[in-house]
Amino acid sequence: MVLAGIKVSDTALVRDAIDLSRSASEPFLFNHAMRSWLFGVLLSASAERAPDPELLAVATILHDLGLTDRYTAENRFEVDGANAARSFLKGRGISTQQMQVVWDAIALHTTRSIALHKEPEVAMTHSGITADVLGAGLDRIPQDKQGAILAEFPRLALKNGLKECLCNIARRKPESTFDNIVRDFGVRYVEGYTSPNFADVVANAPFSE
């Protein structure tokens, strides 16, 4: 399969992941997932350890299922997405260890301080996503390749769409935002949003010292 001039993994599993992401996601979110995958593929070329291309594809393509109406549950959105991806993988000839790698890649995709120290699939899933959201690592990708990716999968106002998704989580299930990036969006943009401060949680623990 060639997307935006980039040769990528072409398996039934990858094609099914693309179909699932497209059917469950708003267009801006689907395009973000596809760009993240392609950026991850390109960044993997210089990685110390090459990721499994199929696992990288599935993890990046499905990484934001937890932001969709279909898959939003009670956990933080990264875990909702990881659980949805694991359900998708069951019964498809994927080993338990491979499913765990995909689960970790999605669950940790916003946690740079951990993701970059995990398996190459986890690290490169994070790297592809942050390239698309934050621009991290784009200096390692030629401008013509960046342009081709953006032409095939336009951003479609990603910043505003992502902001609204995360603010909706802060409104709907603030209890899931305590220890992740959604808290920052809640504090900045959502009127009436509150979240525990971990210093208070420790201070109020039921011990005398």
- CB-CB contact of 72 with 80 (8 Å): yes
Angle (nearest 5°) at CA 117 between 79 and 63 = 30
Burial 123-154, CB ≥16 within 10 A → b, else e:
bbbbbbbbbbbeebbbeebeeeebebbeeebe
Could you report the per-residue pLDDT of 104-113, keeping only the tens digit for each? 999 999 999 9
Cα-based distances in Å from 38 to 29, 42, 78 = 14, 6, 20
Per-residue pLDDT tens for 3-28? 999 999 999 999 999 999 999 999 99
Residues 6+ apart with CB under 8 A from 71: 24, 65, 80, 81, 83, 84
Per-residue pLDDT tens for 117-143? 999 999 999 999 999 999 999 999 999
Model confidence over 136-164: pLDDT tens digits?
A: 999 999 999 999 999 999 999 999 999 99
Q: Model pTM?
A: 0.95
Q: Work out the mean pLDDT of the chain and round it to a whole number.
A: 96
Q: Spell out the domains of the chain, with CATH numbers in brackets.
A: 2-155 (1.10.3210), 157-209 (no CATH)
Task: Name beta bridge partners: 7.
Answer: 2
pLDDT tens digits, 45-85? 999 899 999 999 999 999 999 999 999 999 999 999 999 99
* Amino acid in the structure at residue 17: A
Q: What is the pLDDT of residue 194?
A: 92
- DSSP class per residue in 24-71: HS-HHHHHHHHHHHHHHHHHHTT-SSPPPHHHHHHHHHTTTGGGSTTT
